[in-house]
Amino acid sequence: MQIIEGLYYTRDHEWVRVEGAEAYIGITDYAQQALGDIVYVELSEIGTVLNQEETFGTVESVKAASDMYIPVSGTVTRTNEDLADNPALVNDDPFGTWMVCVEMSNTKELEQLLSASAYKELCSEVE
């Protein structure tokens, strides 16, 4: 299982990559493996204002649908359009496949998120 240094993580298995005031958000390798074949991804529309922990989308495998929660508050500026036709990208490259990009309204929230090593520990506990 892959975990990438330099990203922020959540207990719900989302990752955050910060670029300036923007945060790119996706789900982790651990999450995609647990879900299995991902067949549908539904995302919030551009312009949506989200508070931390609100649902920004749903990722669906053959077996089940799972909500995804925004790790940091902000406004959705972009969504990954490739996912509409090819949701399996999340399985193939979970860390290379961001889902939404938000312009953060409170960068302090980042401090509440997990580091790569803390997230790794979390995953090994669950195992």
Nearer to other proteins, 63 or 108 (CB): 63
- Residue 31: CB minimum distance to other proteins, A: 14
Binding site for other proteins (CB under 8 A): 36-37, 39-40, 42, 58, 60-65, 84, 88, 91
Decide whether 38 or 113 has the Cβ nearer to other proteins: 38
Give the integer Cα–Cα distance in Å for 67 and 4: 23
Positions of E strands within the chain: 8-9, 14-19, 22-27, 38-43, 49-50, 55-61, 65-69, 74-79, 100-104
Q: Compute the least distance from the CB of residue 84 to other proteins, in Å.
A: 8
Nearest-approach distance from CB 75 to other proteins, in angstroms? 21
Distance CA 27, CA 107 (A): 20
- Between 46 and 62, CB nearer to other proteins: 62
User: In this complex, which beta carbon is closest to other proteins, that of residue 18 or of residue 88?
Assistant: 88
Least Å from the CB of residue 63 to other proteins: 6
Distance CA 13, CA 23 (A): 16
Pairing between β-strand 55-61 and β-strand 65-69 as defined by DSSP bridges: antiparallel
